Amino acid sequence: MQWQWLQPGSSCTVRAYAKINLTLDVLGRRGDGYHALATVMQTIDLYDTLSLTLREDGLVHLVCTQPELSTETNLALRAAMLLRAHTGERRGVLIELQKRIPSAAGLGGGSSDAAAALLALTRLWQLRLTATELMELAASLGSDVPFFLYGGLALCEGRGELVTPLPPCWPAELRWLVLLKPAISVATAGVFGALTAHDYSDGSHTQAVCAALQAQRMPALSHLHNGLERGVLERYAEVAVGRAALLEAGAPFVRLSGSGPTLFTALADLEEAHRLWLRLQEQGYEVYLTQVVYPSAESLTLASVAAH
């Protein structure tokens, strides 16, 4: 995530990017109630902004542009509390969160905010934490949070928390992304809870996608799979309607991101992607035209923050 100091040592601003799942295999249900996954995730240029200001009075406080998200369940606030409990840090922080990523949308917004808070606070409070400690703290906040400590393109396994970063090899054929967010929120736990054995796969979609990306080839569209999609399309009519609208407007394919409800398609050509975006916007859909994003040299990442 990109970041900058406002006043060195006392405040900083970071971007927390959203993600999409290029492919997602649900391998089966585990004994602990979670599902074993193999998925390829990529950060995209749609982001929340967190401004963090050190507080010497020890208070930890969050204000959000969407007041309904300024609660104690907010993952960025929970990340700050967790970091303090783990390290014994006594100073506080004011987190000002400017939300742009739709929440409960399958785009990892809350998880990305939490990862951004962990990295920025490690800097702001000058904590000495190893990469392993940060990854463990992230995983305890949510299955997607460790991915956002890296950003870019990655294979995620386990319940999602085992992250293998991949080289930046997003295919040119998928350069421009059009996202459609149906006007509903979806609870991840409910989507996983409604899975049946028919939704499970053996991980071969994810393997094929990783192999294609690493050979710098476009993966076969049949391998852009999401094991959560069938159930979400069946349970939420708004998602099925959004999918039909994307296809009708000319999308070459449509996939659900994560547990949804956001749908995406991808095109090589910006003008074509823009036409698609415009058609859907004119029909009143919440749509985004964006592209993938990778951490830059100035980004705050696990590697730049962790103690060695």
Q: Which positions make up the binding site for ATP? A: 102-112
CA dihedral over 105, 108, 111, 112, signed as positive or negative: negative
- 45 annotated active-site: no
Told to check if 225 binds ligand C5P by CB under 6 A, we report no
Write down the least CB distance from residue 189 to ligand C5P, Å.
Answer: 4
For Cα atoms 162, 298, 149, give the angle at the middle one, nearest 5 degrees.
Answer: 15
Q: Which of residues 84-143 bind ligand C5P (CB under 6 A)?
A: 142-143
Catalytic residue among 19, 113, 181, 199: 19
DSSP per residue over 266-296, as a string?
Answer: EES-HHHHHHHHHHHHHTT-EEEEEEB----
- Give the residue ranges of DSSP H helices in 48-176: 75-87, 109-124, 131-141, 145-150
CA diameter of the chain? 56
- 181 annotated active-site: no
Q: Of these, 189, 197, 215, 297, which contacts ligand C5P (CB under 6 A)?
A: 189
CA dihedral 283, 44, 133, 9 (to 10 degrees): -100
Told to check if 37 binds ligand C5P by CB under 6 A, we report yes
DSSP reduced 3-state for 85: helix
Q: Which of residues 137-156 bind ligand C5P (CB under 6 A)?
A: 142-144
Told to check if 160 binds ligand C5P by CB under 6 A, we report yes
Catalytic residue among 25, 48, 113, 144: 144
Could you tell me which of 41, 293, 260 has the C-alpha nearest to residue 161? 41
Of 138 and 246, which CB lies nearer to ligand C5P in the complex structure?
Answer: 138
User: Which span sits near ligand C5P by CB under 6 A: 124-132, 187-195, 204-212, 296-304?
Assistant: 187-195
Using CB under 6 A, list all residues that contact ligand C5P. Answer: 34-35, 37, 142-144, 159-160, 188-189, 192
Which residues does the annotation mark as catalytic?
Answer: 19, 144
